[in-house]
Amino acid sequence: MSTPTAFAGNALRVTLKEAKESLYAVRGSMWAVISAIILSLMSYLLLTDAELSLLDQSEMLYIVVSLAVGLGLLASGILAGDSVAGERERATLESLLLTPVGRGPLILGKIGAILATWFLVFAISAPYILVIGSGTDLSVPALLYTFVLGTLCVAGFTSLTVGISCLISSGRSVTLAALAIFIAMAAPTLLGTVLQNSWFGIIYNALSPFAQVRLSLDSVIVDKEGLAIQLPHIGALAAFFVLAAAFAAIAARRISLEGGE
**Domain range spanning residue 212?**
3-252
Residue-level pLDDT at 256: 56
Residue-level pLDDT at 174: 86
259 within some domain: no
Virtual torsion, Cα 148, 153, 154, 156, nearest 10 deg: 120
258 within some domain: no
257 within some domain: no
Cα distance between residue 3 and residue 231, in whole Å: 33
261 within some domain: no
Q: Which amino acid is at 31?
A: W
- Spatial CA neighbour of 111 closest among 250, 256, 248: 248
Residue-level pLDDT at 1: 44
Q: How many domains does the chain have?
A: 1
Where the chain has pLDDT below 70, the residues are 1-2, 25-28, 50, 86-101, 188-196, 255-261
| pLDDT tens by residue, 152-186 | 999 999 999 999 988 887 778 888 999 999 988 88
Residue-level pLDDT at 192: 62
Residue-level pLDDT at 190: 64
Residue-level pLDDT at 147: 97
Buried b (16+ CB within 10 A) or exposed e, 51-74: eeeeeeebebbbbbbbbbbbbbbb
